[in-house]
Amino acid sequence: MLWTIFVILLVLWLLGLVGGYALGGFIHLLLVVAVILLVVQLLTGRRAAL
């Protein structure tokens, strides 16, 4: 589930890059949150059931 959230936030960030400056700051904030969640999962070493 965490990987799904990461992918969704990454796609939203990419859309923000090509979508303009209106939501750019918010999308970059979402990207930072996604990267933090990814790092936390990698550091904990837990594997989610698919």
pLDDT in tens, 8-17: 877 877 776 6
Which helix (H) or strand (E) segment holds residue 30: the answer is helix 24-44
Tokens of 38: 């990814």
Mean pLDDT across the chain: 74
Print the domain residue range for 13: 2-43
Task: Please count the structural domains in the chain.
Answer: 1
Quickly count: other Cβ atoms within 10 Å of residue 10's Cβ: 15
**Cα–Cα distance between 9 and 21 in angstroms, integer?**
17
Length of the chain (residues): 50
The answer as to whether 26 is a domain residue is yes
Q: What is the mean pLDDT of residues 22-41?
A: 77
34, with CB counted inside 10 A (0-12, 13-18, 19+), is buried
The answer as to whether 49 is a domain residue is no
The answer as to whether 36 is a domain residue is yes
The answer as to whether 29 is a domain residue is yes
